[in-house]
With several copies, the nearest count.
Chain A
Amino acid sequence: MQYSVKLQTFEGPLDLLLHLIQKNDLDLYDIPVKEITEQYMVYIHTMQFLQLDIASEYLVMAATLLHMKSQMLLPAQEEELGEDEFEYDETDDPREELMYRLIEYKKFKEAAGELKERERVRSDLFSKPMSDLTPFLKDSTDSENGPNINVSIYDMLQAFQRMMKRKKKTEPVYSKIQREEIPIDEKMAQIMTELSRHHGKRRFSELFEREEKHHIVIAFLALLELMKANVIVCNQEDNFDDIMIYQKGEHTFEKSSD
């Protein structure tokens, strides 16, 4: 129980990375990728060891880090790459993007701390409820006006509707999840079949049957294996964008219909 409390202090992979950087006294402007990746992976393993749920964002970050690590180890590849996508300039430091995100996140994390402090100070100031002003209405000469509030019944209904909308999003969806065993080799083969069926190009989101963690993780791991085997190339345009997978070899990288 103790550690679940501790774990909640991480607000996501960026928060965790900041923590690791600070804890190990690393330079945010010159992140040692190998070290931070290893520590990050150990953290993920520890979470699993303690049988805690790992949010998908943490896995995406793991992928980013591993990719970055491999990018920094391997010599830059020369590729024929269609038009605009997928270009790595040799001079680009793959860490730059991550560094920028960490700095940006850190700013707001600190700002959140300041807000918290403000809230605390503010909560030390007490007031009283608004006085009941009805008595003043009662002996008013033009009392037929009522409280004369500038809202209509539709404002009220609209407010209600907004609340329903908000609540709707809060309700959970119940579904039964059946456990499936998907061997990684099988998944790898499946991905290659998928790729050849779709002109050597596929989105990551199209590689698993359902958006369940289990499926996503397996597909993701299979991807890593395929990358290691050097039969595919992956590209992600932006954070949280879908990952594009390209088959290497006989197929050219043509643009798919979408």
Chain B
Amino acid sequence: MKSHQIKAVIEGLLFVSGEEGIDEKQIMEVLQLDRKTVKFYMAELMEVYSSDSRGIQIVEIAGGYQFTTKQEHAPYFKRLVQSPSSTTLSQAALETLAIIAYKQPISRLEIEDIRGVKSERPIRTLTAKSLIKEVGRVDGTGRAILYGTTKDFLEQFGLRSTKELPPLPDSVPKEEVEEEVDLFFSKFQEQIASSMEEAQPIEITERKEFNNGE
């Protein structure tokens, strides 16, 4: 088979696979080629498709390849079709997912240690969305579940592997302070001001209010 025919077949395979994508291994099996040769043709095809005059591109994700449209054309498609990952995640789910992605395998307790809050719900949501899964158990009593990310995670975030995750920021740059004033915060500021003026020990007022509440 000639090389232009091989590329044609790969193009067809990418097309039929659509959002599911196609693995290198599947291409190898279908075309009876070795991995190196497949990689070679894929690189050539990706090059061809990267041209400005093309409306489709090949993206590499989770050990496979996928046809997608180009980001700059997004406005044209938004009106026509639903976005593949239009369901966005809550901040809680994103934080939990970030911790799992970087620290996998990790138990719920370790996640909660980092977040400082209970994290059962985001873990459930992420499991339901197939973004994380059980990857093992802690040895010893309790045998807590260890979580890791899934192939769907890589797909939804357009990653080839978890190694492609950007390095964790380890220094803490000072960020600009958000200047959002709302009802709550003006209230908050008022109270700060008044509590400063009165300069009362905070423990005393605290007791009273806790008693009233609930």
Task: Please say whether the chains A and B touch (CB closer than 8 A).
Answer: yes
Query: Which A residues are closer than 8 A to B by beta carbons?
Result: 2-3, 6-9, 11-15, 22-23, 25, 28, 37-39, 41-46, 48-51, 54-55, 57, 61, 66, 101, 103-116, 118-119, 121-134, 136-137, 140, 144-153, 155-174, 179, 184, 213-214, 217-218, 221, 224-225, 228, 239-240
Are A9 and B91 neighbours in the complex by a CB distance under 8 Å?
A: yes
A234 to chain B, nearest CB (A): 15
Residues of B within 8 A of A2 (CB): 182-184
Q: List chain A residues, Cβ under 8 A from B191.
A: 42, 45-46, 49
Q: Does B185 contact A (CB under 8 A)?
A: yes
Binary contact track B201-213/A, C-beta < 8 Å → 1, others 0: 0110111011111
Contact, CB under 8 Å: A172 / B210 = yes
Asked whether B129 is an interface residue with its Cβ less than 8 Å from the other chain, the reply is yes
Residues of A within 8 A of B1 (CB): none
- Output the least CB separation between A161 and chain B (Å): 5
Interface centre among A13, A25, A105 (most CB of B within 10 A): A105
Roughly how many angstroms separate A133 CA and B85 CA in the complex, as a whole number?
15
Q: Which of B120, B175, B178, B195 contacts A38 (CB 8 A)?
A: B195
Contact of A46 (CB < 8 Å), options: B18, B115, B184: B184
Mark contacts of B138-167 with chain A using CB atoms, 8 A cut-off: 1 yes-contact digit, 0 otherwise: 000000000000001001111100000110
Interface size on B, residues (CB 8 A): 94
Tell me the smallest distance from the CB of A179 to a CB of chain B, in Å: 8
Contact A161 B172 (CB under 8 A): yes
A125 B68 Cβ-Cβ under 8 A: yes
Main secondary structure of the interface of A (DSSP, over half): helix
Once the chains bind, are B188 and A12 in contact (CB under 8 Å)?
Answer: no
Query: Which parts of B26-76 form the interface with A (CB within 8 Å)?
Result: 59, 66-71, 74
Contact of B78 among A9, A129, A136, A151 (CB under 8 A): A136
| Other-chain contact of B130, A28, A134, A165, A221 (Cβ < 8 Å) | A134
Residues of B within 8 A of A171 (CB): 182, 184-185, 188, 210
